[in-house]
């Protein structure tokens, strides 16, 4: 006894499910591209901010270095030219103290800026973690 198989032609319901599946995949891809685009924009913004922070840190480092070098240079000039005969030590110490105070203040500002800055790409990584968690909950 032979069993006959009857193949059914695709119905409109099967075609609707297929197009619905493709629409869902298209929407999913569109959402993923949108998420990636937003995250890349955030990444570029954070990189620009990091470049600005680095420029400020370099500026303060230059100020600290310049002040320290000026302290040494002016100390030597003060001792040699201005107070050779009278009170040269007091004047030299005053100049040294002023420029060292500037150098110390610059170093303290530099350290405070380094300690207070957020980790590199902090916001981008936080948003990607949120995206990952949302996608895990949906799957």
Question: What sign does the CA torsion over 24, 25, 28, 29 have?
Answer: negative
**pTM > 0.75:** no
Three-state DSSP class for 55?
A: helix
| Residues 49-85: tens digit of each pLDDT | 889 989 999 999 999 989 888 887 877 686 667 777 8
| Residues 24-54: tens digit of each pLDDT | 887 887 788 788 888 888 888 888 888 998 9
| Residues 88-133: tens digit of each pLDDT | 777 778 778 887 888 899 899 989 988 887 776 677 777 777 877 7
């Amino acid at each position: 006894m032979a069993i006959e198989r009857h193949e059914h032609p695709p119905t409109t319901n099967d075609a609707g499910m297929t197009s619905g599946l493709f629409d869902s995949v298209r929407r999913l891809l569109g959402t993923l591209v949108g998420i990636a685009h937003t995250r890349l924009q955030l990444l570029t913004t954070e990189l620009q901010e990091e470049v600005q922070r680095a420029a400020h840190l370099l500026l303060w480092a230059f100020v600290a270095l310049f002040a320290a070098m000026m302290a040494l240079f002016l100390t030597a000039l003060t001792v040699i030219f201005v107070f050779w005969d009278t009170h040269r030590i007091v004047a030299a110490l005053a100049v040294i103290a002023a420029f060292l105070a500037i150098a110390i203040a610059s170093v303290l500002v530099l350290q405070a800026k380094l300690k207070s800055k957020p980790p590199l790409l902090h916001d981008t990584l936080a948003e990607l973690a949120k995206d990952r968690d949302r996608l895990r909950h949906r799957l």
